Amino acid sequence: MINYNKMIFELSNPGRIGYSLPRERFPEYNIGQIETQYLRKDELLLPEVSELDVLRHFTNISNKNFGVENGFYPLGSCTMKYNPKINEEMAGLKAFRNLHPLQPASTTQGALEVYYNLQQYLSEISGLHEFSLNPYAGAHGELVGLMVIKAYHEDRGDFKRKKIIIPDSAHGTNPASTTVCGMEAVEIVSNERGRVDLESLKAVLSDEIAGMMLTNPNTLGIFENDICEITKLVHEAGGLMYYDGANLNALLGKVRPGDMGFDVMHINLHKTFSTPHGGGGPGSGPVGVTEELAKYLPNPKIKKHEDYYYVENSKDALGQISSYFGNYLVALRAYTYIRTLGKENLRLVGPYATLNANYISNALKTAYELPIAGYCMHEVVFNGLINKETEVKTLDIAKRLLDFGMHAPTIYFPLLFPQSIMIEPTETESKETIDDFINVMHKIAIEAKEQPEILKQAPTTTPIRRTDEVFAAKMMIFSYKDYLEYINNRG
Amino acid sequence: MFKYFPHTKADIDAMLKSLNISSIDELFKDVPESVIFNSDYDVPSYMSESELRTHFAELSKKNQELTLFSGLGLYDHYQPAVIDALTSREEFMTSYTPYQPEISQGTLQYIFEYQSMIQTLTGLEVSNASMYDGATATAEACFMACAVTRRNKVLLSSTLNPNTINVIKTYLKYKELDWDFIVEKDGVVDIEDLKNKLNKDIAGVIVQKPNIYGIVENYEGFSELIKANKSLFVVNADISTLGVLKSPKEEGADIACGDCQSLGMPVAFGGPTLGYLATQKEYVRKMPGRICGYTHDLEGKRAFVLTLQAREQHIRRSKANSNICSNQSLMALFATIYLSTMGKNGLKQVNNLSYQGAHYLYEKLVATGKFFDPFQKPFLKEFTLKTSIAKETLQTALLENGIFGGVGLDIFGERYEGLINFSVTEKRTKAEIDNLVKIVEGLS
């Protein structure tokens, strides 16, 4: 049913229903008793369909999607590892799903215990003192972490520290979060080894620096081997170090951000700790800090006294950044993952992910340009084909991969190279899967030389072909209502 | 071996051999010796699947599932079985943000359908692909108002949910923007105070309906005043109630925002839910988050894509309107399936059934002589009373009978002292409501 081509609204038939609601228990009351000035007059454009219509529709459109269980998903910087089924089973338990967050703590001890212990595990894995699980996503965690940094400086009466140093290889969320936090991003260039250039760093250090955000391994998938020097320099200048946990998967079992001198960090539970990406969310971005900064973590906080867990709102906290405990059920999945692996298997995650990435790097560097020599960590970045004489661009390579039943890597990021292809295999992929990918990538490199037209046309086997993005931006058809107007105007 | 790692010893040896190294440790040679972590984490040992199930069964026993008469932003509505059946499909659940539209039409199409449904419920022209939750969506709406008007201060109704107020305050404080409150009068936002506080510094005015007390507020005259001041009117509304209540567009709003938990999502100890944000097209370039648009592929086939991405952080970096990167896509799927299942008639019935239950409970409680209504205003599924019964006595008695409700609003601060909130959805039966009333009748 790959050709299924209906919108749910187009299945609608007036009077048809897909629900079963309780019968009226109090017919003496009726919403019409509210004065009409409070009630809506505009008709609702919602579908009227049967239950089976709903199931068929969404099942059919799901078949136009590609998930981790469909095939290899080497999307760089996104850590598309397997999302375990047992996590979903635990997150589906009614005893957690049906808890109202305002219930007294005496009735939610199990839920609070999961939250509290996950904080503890993340602290241990990160080498930091305390975590808040409240931030909803990675970018939200960045914002909250920067708030902690700002609160710390202002608490010391130091109001001039408003600048955050960010390498040019950083994710776009880093500078964007900095602006949203009322600070200024100061970009520094990478050196020819793809790493932070110490001289550039020294040049921007001053008493206006609030801190520095760093991803390590960075977005080129390589470890910042001057990390101890970097943290020392920033600390000496009075700044704090922020660790962007986007690439933490590489370090699991090998290196703890706290031990590298980082003061604040976030973790993407939907990357490193196996919770599903959900087509873009919900994620979870817990923020961890040193002991000195712990008091600034957002409210509400979950604490433990003897064997009793309770919720605390502290005056020192930076405030609230979520209504309650963040994406709680996402955190519960991450807790399940950690308990499933245990200390014995957690320590293997980073090494296996790194082995897989280097195996790919080594096998593909004969056909694809590896701009930074040496070992990578959990992901590898190529700058397009070595053979630059073909018309074939990174976009074409990515699209061609779809025809082979594989998801494309991240492309055109990092921005340091014009034809970036960023490949992250993760530790859950087997040698056979990776060998298949390597063979396909070599085949594509040959096609690029011999039959470039195939790549320019790709993909051809997917539910749709390449799309007209200019039309989308120009026409601004954002809803079914817009669509109907467009169709009517077109005649 | 471990079930999530496919690496056999032979695989590892072959891979190491191809790299010309003898151990994986050699790949970490860029890491300074001083920061290598050489011991095991101090976390528990692994668990088998059956041990995990037992562990969670133990944890579950420490939670108490209660009959919920509580709301305040999270409601115990009916969740059609089709939602779990469909949202658990791996094609939806395990995919990433739809960067490759050719193999992401499932996600993109339901986002388009979600946006369409938010569009019709709010009446506004464009919805984004969703935000984290209602509170952060409202904070982003404040940023948007400031960006559109190039002003730096917002007016917040005192009848907003205190969680929403707290989140907005944190966001504004750190972005170095300003706010003030419009006072409430008899449980609703006071238009006279709004008139006094509108001036050329005000970027936007943020109100909520139903408000923190459950009251459906009347915004007659608001949009004229706000527009005359060249500010934006932001209405936060529980999306489910817009099936029957006046839409933000009908209220004259420029931006609508709020939470969608009431559309088929569990209360889930507070999350995940999702926030919605909608506005008119003239402001779309200042709108945060992802937006899906309709287009076609090179063969003319219908297609959906992410569009207007030049607003977003991955392109504009420090100049982006927001730092948001994800959306709550899977939760938007919950909402879309819910609204597909309920349709316009189902949504009206849910509101009516909730209205009926809430009004029945309200009258029974007032009839006990132990509760009275300090506001006397229209409400839908949630209401706030004062009582002569001590708050602790009330809550303890209800908890002992497996009920959570009658929440003392003073959990949000002293100014709410003495106010008790009840919420009733279509799920609450007559027997459950009568039982609650009976318990209360025995208290003094």
Percent of chain A predicted with pLDDT > 90: 97
Residues of A in contact with B293 (CB under 8 A): 472-473, 475-478
Residues of chain A with pLDDT under 50: none
Positive/negative CA dihedral, B166, B170, B173, B176: negative
With CA atoms as reference, report the closest residue to A358 among A450, A201, A250.
A250
Rg (CA), chain A: 25
Domains located in chain B, CATH noted: 67-76+343-441 (3.90.1150.10), 82-337 (3.40.640.10)
With CA atoms as reference, report the closest residue to B240 among B167, B105, B338, B387.
B338
Residue A31 identity (one-letter amino acid): I
Q: Which helix (H) or strand (E) holds A130?
A: strand A130-132
CB of A181 less than 8 A from some CB of B: yes
Question: What pLDDT, on the 0 to 100 scale, is given for residue B325?
Answer: 82
Pick from A95, A346, A481: CB nearest B63: A95
Q: How far apart are CA B408 and CA B141, in angstroms?
A: 29
Q: Does the distance separating the beta carbons of B268 and A96 come in below 8 Å?
A: yes
Task: Return the residue of B nearest to A359 by Cα.
Answer: B15
Q: Scanning the structure block, which residue is given the tokens 């009333």?
A: B437
Domain ranges of chain A: 8-62, 86-341
Q: Which helix (H) or strand (E) holds A231?
A: helix A227-236
What is the least distance, in Å, from the CA of A446 to any CA of chain B? Answer: 22
Task: Return the residue of B nearest to A479 by Cα.
Answer: B116
Which positions 27-46 of A are in contact with B (Cβ < 8 Å)? 27, 29-31, 33-35, 37-46
Residues of A in contact with B65 (CB under 8 A): 94-95, 98-99
A86-341: in CATH 3.40.640.10: yes
Best probe of the B interface among A10, A24, A29, A100, by most B CBs < 10 A, is A100
List pLDDT tens digits, range A223-253.
999 999 999 999 999 999 999 999 999 999 9
CB of A344 less than 8 A from some CB of B: yes
Residues of A in contact with B56 (CB under 8 A): 90, 93, 336
With CA atoms as reference, report the closest residue to B64 among A94, A264, A410, A34.
A94
What is the least distance, in Å, from the CA of B59 to any CA of chain A? Answer: 5
- A vs B, Cβ pairs < 8 A, gives 690
Both tokens of B160, joined, read 């907003």
Task: Return the residue of A nearest to B342 by Cα.
Answer: A19
Q: Does the distance separating the beta carbons of B167 and A320 come in below 8 Å?
A: yes
Q: Does the distance separating the beta carbons of B70 and A100 come in below 8 Å?
A: yes
Any residues with CB less than 8 A from the CB of A379 and at least 6 apart, and which?
A76, A77, A217, A221, A247, A250, A357, A422, A423, A424, A425
With CA atoms as reference, report the closest residue to A134 among A311, A339, A342.
A311
The answer to whether the peptide bond before residue B248 is cis (omega within 30 degrees of 0) is no
Best probe of the A interface among B63, B308, B313, B393, by most A CBs < 10 A, is B63
Residues of B in contact with A93 (CB under 8 A): 56, 60
DSSP state of A24: P
Q: How far apart are CA B100 and CA A466, in angstroms?
A: 9
With CA atoms as reference, report the closest residue to A455 among A407, A415, A400, A402.
A400
Q: CA torsion angle for A32, A34, A37, A43 (degrees, to 10)?
A: -40
Cβ contact B229:B206 at 8 Å? no
Pick from B63, B328, B336: CB nearest A111: B63
Pick from B74, B96, B378: CB nearest A34: B378
Q: Does the distance separating the beta carbons of B360 and A29 come in below 8 Å?
A: yes
Question: What pLDDT, on the 0 to 100 scale, is given for residue B316?
Answer: 78
Best probe of the B interface among A16, A31, A120, by most B CBs < 10 A, is A31
Question: What pLDDT, on the 0 to 100 scale, is given for residue A1?
Answer: 58
Distance of CA A392 to the CA centre of its chain: 29
Q: Does the distance separating the beta carbons of A327 and B272 come in below 8 Å?
A: yes
Cβ contact A182:A360 at 8 Å? no
Q: How far apart are CA B252 and CA A472, in angstroms?
A: 28
CB of A403 less than 8 A from some CB of B: no
SS3 content of chain A, % helix, strand, coil (to 5): 40, 15, 45
pTM over 0.95: yes
Question: What pLDDT, on the 0 to 100 scale, is given for residue B107?
Answer: 98
C-alpha separations of A347 from A353, A427, B38, B92 in Å: 11, 12, 10, 30
Task: Return the residue of A nearest to B45 by Cα.
Answer: A342
Q: How far apart are CA A338 and CA A275, in angstroms?
A: 11
Q: Scanning the structure block, which residue is given the tokens 């609608």?
A: A12
Which positions 425-454 of A are in contact with B (Cβ < 8 Å)? 427-431
Residues of B in contact with A165 (CB under 8 A): none
Residue B422 identity (one-letter amino acid): F
Q: How far apart are CA B250 and CA B163, in angstroms?
A: 26
Strand partners, B156: B181, B206
Residues of chain B with pLDDT under 70: none
Q: What is the 3-state secondary structure (H, E, C) of chain B?
A: CECCECCCHHHHHHHHHHCCCCCHHHHHCCCCHHHECCCCCCCCCCCCHHHHHHHHHHHHHCECCCEEECCCCCCCCCCCHHHHHHHCCHHHHCCCCCCCHHHEHHHHHHHHHHHHHHHHHHCCCEECCCECCHHHHHHHHHHHHHHHHCCCEEEEECCCCHHHHHHHHHHHHHHCCEEEEECEECCEECHHHHHHHCCCCEEEEEEEECCCCCECCCCCCHHHHHHHCCCEEEEEECHHHHHCECCHHHHCCCEEEEECCCCCCCCHHHCCCCEEEEECHHHHHHCCCCCEEEEEECCCCEEEEECCHHHCHHHHHHHCCCCCCCCCHHHHHHHHHHHHHHHHHHHHHHHHHHHHHHHHHHHHHHHCCCEECCCCCCECCEEEEEECCCHHHHHHHHHHCCEEECEEHHHHCHHHCCEEEEECCCCCCHHHHHHHHHHHHCCC
How many other C-beta atoms lie within 10 A of the C-beta of residue A46? 23
List pLDDT tens digits, range A122-136.
999 999 999 999 999
Task: Return the residue of B nearest to A322 by Cα.
Answer: B167
- Interhelix angle A173-180/A138-155, rounded to 10 degrees, is 50
Residues of B in contact with A345 (CB under 8 A): 2, 4-5, 46
Q: Does the distance separating the beta carbons of A402 and B32 come in below 8 Å?
A: no
Residues of A in contact with B105 (CB under 8 A): 61, 64-65, 463-464
DSSP helix/strand/coil, A299: strand
Both tokens of B287, joined, read 């709108």
Pick from B43, B82, B343: CB nearest A343: B43
What is the least distance, in Å, from the CA of A328 to any CA of chain B? Answer: 5
Q: Does the distance separating the beta carbons of B298 and A466 come in below 8 Å?
A: yes
CB of A314 less than 8 A from some CB of B: no
CB of A227 less than 8 A from some CB of B: yes
Positive/negative CA dihedral, A262, A264, A269, A273: positive
Q: Which helix (H) or strand (E) holds A212?
A: strand A209-215
Q: Does the distance separating the beta carbons of A104 and B52 come in below 8 Å?
A: no
